[in-house]
Amino acid sequence: MPEAYRRTLVRQVSQHAHSEIIGMQPEGDWIASAPSLRRKAILLAKVQDEAGHGLYLYAAAETLGVDRDDLTERLIEGRQKYSSIFNYPSLSYADVGVIGWLVDGAAICNQVPLCRTSFGPYARAMVRICKEESFHQRQGYELLMRMMEGTEGQRRMVQDAVDRWWWPSLMMFGPPDAESPNTQQSMTWGIKIDTNDDLRQRFVDMTVPQAERLGVTLPDPDLVWNAERGHHDFGTPDWDELKQVIKGDGPKNAERVSRRRAAHEKGAWVREAATAYARKQQEATV
Amino acid sequence: MSGENIFTGLTEEHDGDARWAFGTGFTEALAGVDTTLPAGVDGADLAVYCQMLGDDALVQSQRLVQWVTDAPELEEEVALANIALDLLGQARLLLARAGQADGSGRDEDAFAYHRDPEHFRNVHLTEAPRGDFARAVATLLVLSSWRLAVFTRLADSADPVLAAIAAKGVNELAYHREYVVAWTLRLGDGTPYSHERLRTAVADVWPLTGELFATHPLEAALAAQGVGVDPASVRDEVHEVVTRVLTAATLPAPEPFPGQTVAGRDGEHSAHLAPLLEELQRVAREHPEATW
């Protein structure tokens, strides 16, 4: 395997794994206060799935000759990134639904083509992950449908959450193609199948009818159907904000990483115990 | 549905499973079970008994949720969330049965969200603060061993619904116990530090274990009807299991479970339950007219 190809994949797969693990936090905060036991079970199962996705992806990365512990160190020392979307706060239970609908929806748009990516272990992990993500997206959308059928206050919560998550969701596809340093090389190698802008367009086109059905407004005055192109035109995300968040100045960057670091450091004695026990067992059988 | 467009069906009308991209494959836990109250079973007593078992599960599940994003390793994230989910599932079935048995028609959420602490029937062990990982292991070792012993007997309950819930729960609880036994061995026979932390955790948990085996008059009555289990009857079995595990983990053999009278089963709780329930009930109570 060419070294540059390997390095690119390690970066992409480990960032993806980190995103799954950090992505547990914004929604995980709501499990304890979920407003019905059914919603609690759905959300707990979803956040558990994300831990599972992180596990497969770290395992896929390990086939490239890196070590999970080392990748975790890179995350908690801020040497590797994760999806910037998770640096925004989740302010109400409607956010749980909107994260499922828009954030998981955008993730699916990004990830379904990756089921055909050129590195087998990554592609195979994506098949299972996409199935579970599509489940999460539907659960999120179903929560929003129920909330929109509820009280006026609930409808306001949903619209408020849509207003806050719409633009960050569009930014999940990365910078515009003209400013995406890695896209061309990754496409040549068959790691990436579509460009950022193509995926973003696909997401917008899929989401608009879903928003109409739901009865919410997407917060973009420039969003309009363009019959000539056969696509929706839409406004330009605030790329300066994205740069700030990627740089680490988002609303929740510091908290997300420090929480992951705290859990990892607090758990060190447990992992050491497991290692010591395994060694004793091995010695006993030799 | 094509792989590239797995969510195009989102806005279409469907019935049942077809809404989900790949189907759910789920079957109702109580499908085919006769929910009629059998002759000779006191519905009011059965309802309270279901709350006892259901509240243990609900409150312990809520405690376990505190491990989400805080576990020592990703495998433990998955496992602890899984145990929490299983217990939540048991609680939902038991609380729904309570609402059928007492004739009130209350659903699972009415019990979970609209009772105050003095109406919860869980034992103190489940509401005690989460503590460290060793504490979680010590708590789950006793609790899952106890619950497995009780559910194994309840699978023959004269109430067919309780029997079905218990039969489903036995498989889950056997896994919980297996998981926690593995960690008891790792911590007890791991490093000197982990050994010490587990020893401390077992000592801290021990005073709370006796309540599990204290017989409430209602449990005695239901046991006599063949509906419930007298928890005193599983005391020796559970002690033997826990002793065997702790000894294998190089810890000292434990004291007998302390003799104790009923407390949580009668709604007498420690100061730890109210804040736990406040968090659980907050959103539901803030929006009383809402639908979720």
Contact A28 B4 (CB under 8 A): no
Chain A interface disruption, residue of B186, B193, B286, most A CBs within 10 A: B186
* CATH code of the domain covering residue B168: 1.20.1260.10
- B5 pLDDT tier (thresholds 50, 70, 90): very low
Contact A27, A91 (CB under 8 A): no
- What pLDDT shows up at residue B28? 67
Q: Is B215 left (phi over 0), alpha (psi -120 to 50) or beta?
A: beta
Inform me whether the C-beta atom of residue B185 falls under 8 Å from chain A C-beta atoms: yes
Go through A199-238 and write b for each residue having 16 or more CB atoms within 10 A of its CB, e for each that does not.
Answer: bbbbbbebbbebbeebebebebeebeeeeeeeebebeebe
- A243 pLDDT tier (thresholds 50, 70, 90): confident
**Domain assignment present for B3:** no
Inform me whether the C-beta atom of residue B187 falls under 8 Å from chain A C-beta atoms: yes
User: Is the predicted pLDDT of residue B32 greater than 70, yes or no?
Assistant: yes
**How much of chain B exceeds pLDDT 90, in percent?**
86
Residues of B in contact with A146 (CB under 8 A): 291-292
Lowest mean pLDDT among A235-249, B91-105, B227-241: A235-249
Q: Chain B window 148-167: which residues touch A at a Cβ cutoff of 8 Å?
A: none
User: Is the predicted pLDDT of residue B22 greater than 50, yes or no?
Assistant: no
- Gap between the Cα atoms of A212 and B71, Å rounded: 40
Q: What is the mean pLDDT of residues A104-110?
A: 94
- Gap between the Cα atoms of B257 and A162, Å rounded: 54
Contact B78 A138 (CB under 8 A): no
**Domain assignment present for B9:** no
Average pLDDT of chain A? 94
- What pLDDT shows up at residue B29? 67
* Segment A154-175, tens digit of pLDDT: 999 999 999 999 999 999 999 9
pTM score, two decimals?
Answer: 0.94
- Gap between the Cα atoms of B206 and B30, Å rounded: 36
Cα nearest neighbour of B67 on chain A:
A263
Contact B88 A40 (CB under 8 A): yes
| Structural domain boundaries, residue B209 | 42-286
**Domain assignment present for B26:** no
- A152 pLDDT tier (thresholds 50, 70, 90): very high
- What pLDDT shows up at residue B54? 98
Q: How many CB pairs lie under 8 A apart between chains A and B?
A: 181
Contact B22 A277 (CB under 8 A): no
Contact B234, B218 (CB under 8 A): no
**Domain assignment present for B269:** yes
**Domain assignment present for B24:** no
Nearest to A214 by CA among A105, A116, A117, A109: A105
Least Cα separation, residue A33 to chain B (angstroms):
5
Least Cα separation, residue A39 to chain B (angstroms):
8
User: Is the predicted pLDDT of residue B15 greater than 60, yes or no?
Assistant: no
- A184 pLDDT tier (thresholds 50, 70, 90): confident
- What pLDDT shows up at residue A164? 96
Q: What is the mean pLDDT of residues B200-219?
A: 97
Q: Chain B window 224-283: which residues touch A at a Cβ cutoff of 8 Å?
A: 279-280, 282-283
ipTM of the complex: 0.95
Q: Would the CA dihedral through A240, A180, B7, A25 be positive or negative?
A: negative
- What pLDDT shows up at residue B4? 44
- Gap between the Cα atoms of B133 and A269, Å rounded: 10
Inform me whether the C-beta atom of residue B135 falls under 8 Å from chain A C-beta atoms: no
Cα nearest neighbour of A152 on chain B:
B290
- What pLDDT shows up at residue A5? 94
* Segment B132-158, tens digit of pLDDT: 999 999 999 999 999 999 999 999 999
Contact B291 A137 (CB under 8 A): no
Average pLDDT of chain B? 92
SS3 B32: coil
Contacts of A9 (CB under 8 A, 6+ apart): A61, A64, A119, A122, A191
**Domain assignment present for B155:** yes
- What pLDDT shows up at residue B24? 53
- What pLDDT shows up at residue B3? 41
Residues of B in contact with A135 (CB under 8 A): 20-22
Structural domain count of chain B:
1
* Segment A216-241, tens digit of pLDDT: 999 999 999 999 999 999 999 999 98
Contact B77 A51 (CB under 8 A): yes
**How much of chain A exceeds pLDDT 90, in percent?**
85
* Segment B254-272, tens digit of pLDDT: 999 999 889 999 999 999 9
- What pLDDT shows up at residue B60? 98
